[in-house]
A and B are shown apart, each in its own frame.
Chain A
């Protein structure tokens, strides 16, 4: 039974409950960084990385520090500080150990602090009452789902760039409408069930 719960979490994170296209969280980077496939891949990897680590750290801190001390109301303020500190730390570590990865992630790393997807996932795993392994798997899959949506979107936008678009629709409006159509397609996955 435990395994089937995990499979449900995986499928939900990537397809049926995709964070961008079904929950509409994390739309700013989804629209901002989806102009080129290369940067979309970089952003996707960086976000997946941060979401996974941040959710696990937030989970541990919530259940071993905040909950025993009955400080649950500090959840928001603690989580955002953890995420900001973590992003800063990753920035330093990656710069030191892997300059090439640092080059490819570049600006996106710093932008992740204000990505709702990270805080949203950290909050979600607490609300859903997951255990540590489930938290890890869920966060990883949410990140992968985000990457998938971002790469698909960037592929389409590269094509739209060269096609004829009416003037008021240039740029973001057409991107939003494309996102809407993609989300409709993803809504079709809702029938998938593994329980």
Chain B
């Protein structure tokens, strides 16, 4: 078996790259546009020049002017200053389900029969894409036990928003307009609070009991207080801390008893593929972050897909179009009068669905179950090692509950002992080739948090390397805290000189023009 080691001689690429604007030389071209045929020019002349002055661009367009080789080099340099999960030990990003994304999927996504398709083409000319969508819907139905799916939401948060829209349409259809409040839990993703809020709902948040499980007594109290204003309950399970809520059916029963709907946020479904399903939990709706569990790249934060599933009684409210099959051909059905409308253009992020279909077909039911088994095994194997590190603990440590696919750890003891906290550790791990880890969603209920999720694509050796790297950094915190506190040392960039300026309207800059206006040439790399 391969043996782990800590990358003590690691150094991330650091090209000291200027801004693309600083590479500009007037008159340079990176690519040419197809020339207009002479016959067209003869027939119509210079159409743009004939526009009225009020329509013509008045200010010079200040885009950079760079030749093709230097554009390529610039962006390759910048990509090299980024740690994607395909090239690093990225079990770091807990709650994000970072796993290997097969290159085969990328190759297939470039097929012109997939990439060069216009969404307004006649159904008869997009049978392949529609077939992929239809077949992946059948797969998702079986994985979840739900009756229908829409792949229109562009990510998990968007699926929660879609669910809020379906919930609103459902209650409106029953003329039950007073239902204006939802309940969620603090260890559910922030979107389970924020997206329903955007859709017009008040939000009540439950905290866990002393075991780390959402508090059933708290739910009873909230339900009693909200009464017939309760529209629904949004929850993750297992929650971000990796603890499965064994009372989920009781929660669902209670919410249903007062007329509310139940929503399962299954953004990270790695723990339970083939083990548990939304149907058996009794919920009415759910979503999967297809870009997480089903092996597709996260794209640096998208494109993604939030596959939204629901039971039959809610399916008439789904966004249009749905994808149907009449036995001979696939088609997009817009004729759905009870639909709440749409949340995104067209049918969804087809590239994500193509890759996920491919990934799922490679694994099959047995392979999906293997993903679940190995992800929970990896997590427990890593947990055992990590909890031996001095200074590191875990949320609800010692409650006797075996964690599922991820854990929320805490560096509280280390912080108390050394003054080195989780943000400091995080800046140091990158010096050993470990990507930035996910601390916790806000607010930090668990002090000095660190959330890790070792998916099935990490090897035993990866887990051990991760453990050894964290152990080394924790030891540094005790023996030589300055080396941790002054990190990063061997990464693509350093600490901001004044990070508080990011919150200062006089100093922040989201564009190069704003930066130049506010700071002049004071900080320019190329002067």
Asked if A and B bind, the verdict is no
